[in-house]
Copies of this chain bind each other. A is one copy, B any other.
Amino acid sequence: MVGKQKGGHQEQEPFTILIHRFPAFNLFFCTSLREHYRLLDPHNSPEESVHSYLSREAQKVRALVCVGHTPLKSDVLGLLPSLELVVGSSAGVEHIDLPECRRRGIAVTNAGTAFSEDVADCAIALLIDVLRRVSSGDRYVRSGLWPKCGHIALGSKLGGKRIGIIGLGNIGSEIAKRLLAFGCSIAYNSRKKKVSVPFPFYANVRDLAANSDVLVLCCSLTNETYHIINTDVMKALGKDGVVINVGRGGLVDEKELVRSLVGGEIGGAGLDVFEDEPDVPKELCELDNVVLSPHASVLTPESFEALHDTVLANLNAFFSNKPLVSPFPNE
């Protein structure tokens, strides 16, 4: 019943939701959404331009679901005069024109905690992999080198490592929880010191790097965090230091990262995201102290199911005038 306009005892038309997506992106749970809402999707009218479709169909649309990282900028927002809610389907919302949403009072939600555990698992996997050479060992065995060359080089123990987490939100907190079980110590950087958190806070990323063996990136990409990992930070991290990025490619100055890795100025990297995805710098593909993952940190059925629940819960809350379940603090 939720999501239907009700008048007395008579059910009326369902509310209308605009699906905003790259033509190649499909929202996997449209079928389920359609049980509750009327969906508008410009790409289901391929003979018509998006502009003319929206101008005709979407003047009264109050809520939009933005699929994946499809950019949602002023060109589209300007065609939606009644828009009140943008439901994002990813953890990061850097592809959404947040200042324009703020100006117009349009609420924005993100994936909330739907992906947090899977992304945290991915961060831990990349970290142990870099330290203990798992992918590299797998290549070694598959290439038939083990019988010829014997043991691989020593790795490095995870326990006892000082881990600097950049962005201690849902994902960062899940990462910290896991790392404590491995015997690591945690410190963090984020926009603000968190009162409820027992870990040391560093306001400055360079200082965090200087006091860490590993930096894990899991913050939002914003103007403030763009290239937050630069040459200075990597120098402070040092030649045995490891960078793990499960946030966004733009958090790292990738050219400098490649230079530092090739030059041995840092010890290794585990990367699920890149500045120019799906292109990955060729130099990285030749390094054995790097683990490369094709932006796969949320690619599980469990994450998708949780996302479905979060998107639906946000829409239901909005149309019932209840608090959104995962509002993005667009301050």
Residues of A near any B CB (own CB < 8 A): 117-118, 121-122, 124-126, 128-129, 132-135, 137-142, 144, 146-147, 150-160, 177-178, 180-183, 277-280, 285, 291-296, 299-304
Contacts and interface: CB of A to CB of B under 8 A. Distances in A.
Nearest to A118: B157
A118 B182 CA distance: 10
21 contacts: A118-B157, A122-B128, A125-B134, A129-B134, A137-B292, A138-B291, A139-B139, A141-B280, A141-B294, A142-B285, A144-B285, A151-B295, A151-B296, A151-B299, A152-B294, A155-B300, A156-B300, A156-B302, A160-B302, A178-B181, A180-B181
Give this chain's copy count.
2
Nearest to A179: B181
Given A121-B182, A125-B132, 9 more contacts: A121-B128, A125-B134, A135-B139, A140-B294, A141-B280, A152-B294, A152-B296, A156-B300, A160-B302
B121 A300 contact: no
Interface-central residue, A121, A182, A291, by most chain B CB under 10 Å? A121
List the 6 closest A-B pairs by CB distance, nearest first: A181-B181, A157-B302, A141-B292, A125-B128, A146-B278, A135-B138
Contacts of A157: 117-118, 121, 300-303
A134 B293 contact: yes
Contacts of A121: 128, 132, 157-159, 182
Contacts of A280: 141, 146
Contacts of A160: 302
B117 A159 contact: yes
A142 to B, nearest CB: 4
A5 B304 CA distance: 68
Contacts of A137: 292-294, 296
Contacts of A125: 125, 128-129, 132, 134
A280 B147 CA distance: 9
Interface-central residue, A152, A300, A301, by most chain B CB under 10 Å? A300
A238 B295 CA distance: 29
Nearest to A294: B146
B300 A132 contact: yes
A277 B295 CA distance: 34
A128 B182 CA distance: 15
Contacts of A152: 294, 296, 299
Contacts of A140: 294
Nearest to A177: B181
Interface-central residue, A150, A178, A181, A302, by most chain B CB under 10 Å? A181
Nearest to A287: B142
A124 B295 CA distance: 21
Nearest to A133: B296
Contacts of A299: 151-155
